[in-house]
């Protein structure tokens, strides 16, 4: 059985390849293979010998790139779990809706990469092309998810397109607010718009029958409609 960390590692390697990253054939000299993992991350200047220091590893460009990607991934995935994944909980009978939600999850790590400023990073020569492709694909998926939610009258507690356009720090803060219950009574404006449209459609059905019943001959005054 493939564990989630293994899947993330495999996806990350695939993404790095798409970005044009040239992976090293040897371990960085900063990492001593004779030491344990803990010892490699322990600050030699710490008298307690229990503080993990990334200073020397952050100087390795590839390590820093992977570290930044995973930090962004934490925020992006948190937003996805808080506002998108849960939409599918009670709607398994709609295959297309479920497929779009699970399909979007496959792109979460890629979306995290697009949150980074890698346009001028020598490690990632293909970043601009990668970013454009991922954002376009995921935007289409999210718009389809929103359309399904609208038709099924499923409330949205956030603008789902924020997953595409917001920075990862904002997404992380938003996801944390949701986990703390701060958004319990907040609904996305799309739901209110749906209520308004439903009310207007009902009026359009009932009003002609009322006018006909009362034998009222009514003509729309276009100029009055434009009057402030």
Q: What is the pLDDT of residue 113?
A: 97
Q: What is the pLDDT of residue 2?
A: 46
Average pLDDT over residues 189-209: 65
d(CA 224, CA 220): 9
- pLDDT band, residue 221 (cuts 50/70/90): low
pLDDT at 78 over 80: yes
Q: What are residue 42's DSSP bridge partners?
A: 52
- pLDDT band, residue 51 (cuts 50/70/90): very low
Average pLDDT over residues 100-119: 94
Residue of higher predicted confidence among 27 and 223: 27
Q: How many CA atoms lie within 13 A of 18 on its CB side?
A: 18
3-state helix, strand, coil in the chain (%, to 5): 60, 0, 40
Q: Residue 76 CB: number of other CB atoms within 10 A? A: 25
Contact 141, 100 (CB under 8 A): yes
Average pLDDT over residues 105-130: 95
Q: How many CA atoms lie within 13 A of 93 on its CB side?
A: 2
Alpha-carbon 61 to chain mean position? 26
The two tokens of residue 159 are 């603008």
Q: Residue 227 CB: number of other CB atoms within 10 A? A: 6
pLDDT at 211 over 60: yes
Q: What is the pLDDT of residue 228?
A: 47
Burial 163-182 (b: 16+ CB within 10 A, else e): bbebebeebbebbeebeeee
d(CA 32, CA 39): 9
The two tokens of residue 68 are 């930044």
Q: What are residue 52's DSSP bridge partners?
A: 42
Average pLDDT over residues 154-161: 84
């Amino acid at each position: 059985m493939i564990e989630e960390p293994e899947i993330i590692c495999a996806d990350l390697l695939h993404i790095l390849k798409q970005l044009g990253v040239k992976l090293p054939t040897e371990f960085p000299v900063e990492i001593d293979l004779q030491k344990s993992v803990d010892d490699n991350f322990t600050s030699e200047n710490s008298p307690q010998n229990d503080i993990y220091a990334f200073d020397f590893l952050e100087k390795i460009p590839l390590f820093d790139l992977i570290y930044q990607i995973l930090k962004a991934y934490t925020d992006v995935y948190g937003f996805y779990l808080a506002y998108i994944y849960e939409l599918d909980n009670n709607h398994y009978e709609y295959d297309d809706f479920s497929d779009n939600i699970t399909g979007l999850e496959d792109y979460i790590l890629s979306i995290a990469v697009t949150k980074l400023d890698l346009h001028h990073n020598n490690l990632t020569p293909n970043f601009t092309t990668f970013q454009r492709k991922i954002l376009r694909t995921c935007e289409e998926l999210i718009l389809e998810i929103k359309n399904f939610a609208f038709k099924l009258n499923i409330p949205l507690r956030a603008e789902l397109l924020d997953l595409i356009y917001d920075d990862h720090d904002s997404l992380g803060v938003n996801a944390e607010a949701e986990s703390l219950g701060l958004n319990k009574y907040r609904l996305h404006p799309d739901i209110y718009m749906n209520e308004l449209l439903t009310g207007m459609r009902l009026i359009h059905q009932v009003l002609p029958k009322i006018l006909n019943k009362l034998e009222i001959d009514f003509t729309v005054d276009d100029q009055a409609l434009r009057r402030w």
